[in-house]
Chain A
Amino acid sequence: MRRRDLLKGAGIVVGLGLTGCTRWVEEERSVDAAMVSLSEQLAELADVRFSASSQGLNSRALYDGLRRSGIISPQRGIDPARLQSLARKEAMIQYQGFYYSPSELALYNLAYLVHKPTLGR
């Protein structure tokens, strides 16, 4: 639980004005409170175990892809039902000894890339 609190705190930091790869998140955020929620949600999910899987990936492209597929939206944040629905159609992939759906792993990659600067602080 302590870890979760830490991550929530990190999410707020991001919401308060991280720059670099997260700038586009901020641009879309505007004053929409739900966007803060997406940022917080991504912050909760950010985990260093996804550093390898996200290597070489573009956060903007990930964001656009996940948004196009309805998994995330600036208004509603992460949609678990959509993620589950897609997982039923996707072939599982293996990463570091565990199974993921490709969409789920893409989401965690995005979370890592967006919040990488705050991890470990």
Chain B
Amino acid sequence: MGHTTMLVLDPENRHYDVAIIGSGPAGITLALRLARLTPFRIGLLESGLLEAAPTVQALALAQLDGDLGEAYFPMHTQRRFGGSSTIWGGFCAVLEERAFLAGDWPIPYTELERWYPAAAAMLELPDNAYRRPHAAIEGTRDIVYKPFYLSPPVRFNEKYGEEIISHPRIDLILGHTCTRLEHSGSRVRSLLLRDSLDMARSPVRLTAGTTVLACGGVGNPRLLQLSGIGRSLPVGVGLMEHPHLYAVADMYLDWGRMQDVVDRQANAVHALQLADRYCVANDVLSFSADFNLQQLVSEPLLGGRREALFTPVSLRAEIAPHPANRVGDSDQLNALGQPLSRIEFHFRFREQAHRTWRLFAEALLRSGLGRPSTLKPSFRLNSGGHLMGTTRMGSDPRQSVVDGNGRVHTTDNLYVAGSSVFPAGGASNPTYTIVALTLRLGDHLATRLGGNAYAAS
């Protein structure tokens, strides 16, 4: 390939300015950002290999208690270079402002918003993904049009693999599972690693000035728990997912009012959403009602017969964090002799779904924009594979695990990246926001660790 491969086979006693645990979208984004901004030496650690390996994948298995099916983790968790980007569908939308308006996040929305353009570039999204993330519809302030733009989808291992592997200051350490962060006082001192395939081998250690966890909504809290870090913090508490209800209702939409709003040129899934201020005013969480453009019919709407879309509706919803939804220890051990993750999760969504749909239906009907059906009398909840909220961001250590920059409250040189820091999950697929927040974290670390000389423009 004409370049020096920075794959590290034996990481023992190596030292890095920044060690990043996990090579999914967050880990790769952060490694590249820091490598471009700073002269830091970066260690990017991955439990898996370049391709999926069943033995390593088995380390991610979890004991499930609740509404997540047995196939959940095999389906959504990937321990390999590229992480979940190797299997994701590419749905991207900016996070709703609602939770920021309601004060659930400790940072202003603009702090997130300014990173969406750079995140769009990484994910190969059109500019409209951030320039026109939603659009007003004539005659209503309660409902907005919100497209979910589709990344190709970018596989981070394929798109960024060569840059990572050939970069002179990034070491990619594959096949090593970090089992413990060794710490004293308020600092992480070293990382204990086990060989993911040859588990009889003795553990090895490496050290880092700063460590960033980027190993997912379950992996991040689990590593804190297994290391005994943040015992006073709500680590693992408040796991969130996005309930998906497919074809759970129908609606007619006045095409005359929609046709100039819908972005028909884009590779996107079209949706309507309750406006953020309407959500806050009515104390309701975010949700998206997806529709398609396939069927035009003639329908009586608002006292006239109009050309209307007739479409099934699929809902993608937000659920509130609940203390009973959590990640913790199982009484079973994995092949490394560590307790498996035990995940208690109940969607607690049915009542909310009815209330939210009714509010949406009222807004739709009263605007004259369309006619909603009733929600189907019984429906099946599907998950999105979106694990969020288990190391939530906040300013109060009693209610959160990391601060507004992603730093663990109790530990000066330990950060968390990924959707586990989301204190509210919105109804948008999380990858776009994960990348945006990670770019922001990279900028913060460059500034904090290297002084203003590394601050991004």
Interface on A for B, CB 8 Å cutoff? 1, 3-4, 7, 41, 44-45, 47, 71, 78-80, 83-84, 87-88, 92, 94, 97-101, 104, 107-108, 111
Contacts and interface: CB of A to CB of B under 8 A. Distances in A.
Contact of A4 (B305, B365, B373): B305
A98 B372 contact: yes
B33 to A, nearest CB: 48
A45 B371 contact: no
B373 A107 contact: no
Contact of B372 (A4, A87, A88, A99): A99
Contact of A45 (B304, B362, B372): B304
22 contacts: A1-B298, A3-B298, A7-B305, A41-B303, A45-B303, A45-B305, A71-B303, A80-B304, A84-B302, A97-B250, A97-B374, A98-B373, A99-B362, A99-B365, A99-B372, A99-B374, A100-B371, A101-B365, A104-B302, A104-B303, A108-B300, A111-B300
B305 A79 contact: no
A15 B58 CA distance: 75
A92 B361 contact: yes
**Top 3 closest pairs, chain A to chain B, by CB:** A44-B305, A78-B303, A83-B303
Question: Which secondary structure dominates chain B's binding surface?
Answer: mixed
Contact of B366 (A1, A78, A88, A97): A88
Nearest to A47: B300
A25 to B, nearest CB: 16
B152 to A, nearest CB: 38
B368 interface: yes
Nearest to A101: B365
Contacts of A71: 303
Given A45-B303, A45-B304, 6 more contacts: A79-B303, A84-B302, A84-B368, A87-B366, A92-B358, A108-B300
B302 A83 contact: yes
A98 B374 contact: yes
A100 B365 CA distance: 7
Contacts of A94: 374
A97 B372 CA distance: 9
A48 to B, nearest CB: 12
Contacts of A97: 250, 373-374
B298 A80 contact: no
Interface in B330-374: 358, 361-362, 365-368, 371-374
A80 B368 contact: yes
Nearest to A94: B374
Contacts of B373: 97-99
B161 to A, nearest CB: 51
Most buried by A among B361, B367, B368: B368
Contacts of A87: 365-366, 368
Contact of A99 (B304, B361, B367): B361
Most buried by B among A3, A4, A80, A97: A97
A78 B365 contact: no
B101 to A, nearest CB: 24
Contacts of A111: 300
Nearest to B299: A47
Contacts of B367: 84
Contacts of A107: 303
Nearest to B297: A3
Interface in B300-335: 300, 302-305
Nearest to A91: B362
Contacts of B358: 92
A71 B368 CA distance: 14
A37 B176 CA distance: 77
A92 B368 contact: no
A41 B304 contact: yes
A79 B374 CA distance: 26
A108 B371 CA distance: 14
A100 B366 CA distance: 9
Nearest to B358: A92
Interface string B383-423: 00000000000000000000000000000000000000000
B282 to A, nearest CB: 14
Given A3-B298, A92-B361, A44 B304 contact: yes
B303 A4 contact: no
A54 B305 CA distance: 18
Contacts of B371: 98-100
Contacts of B250: 97-98
Contact of A92 (B300, B302, B304, B365): B365
Contact of B300 (A1, A45, A99, A101): A45
A1 to B, nearest CB: 7
A92 B303 contact: no
Interface string B280-305: 00000000000000000010101111
A92 B298 contact: no
A111 B368 CA distance: 19
A38 to B, nearest CB: 11
B189 to A, nearest CB: 61
B373 to A, nearest CB: 5
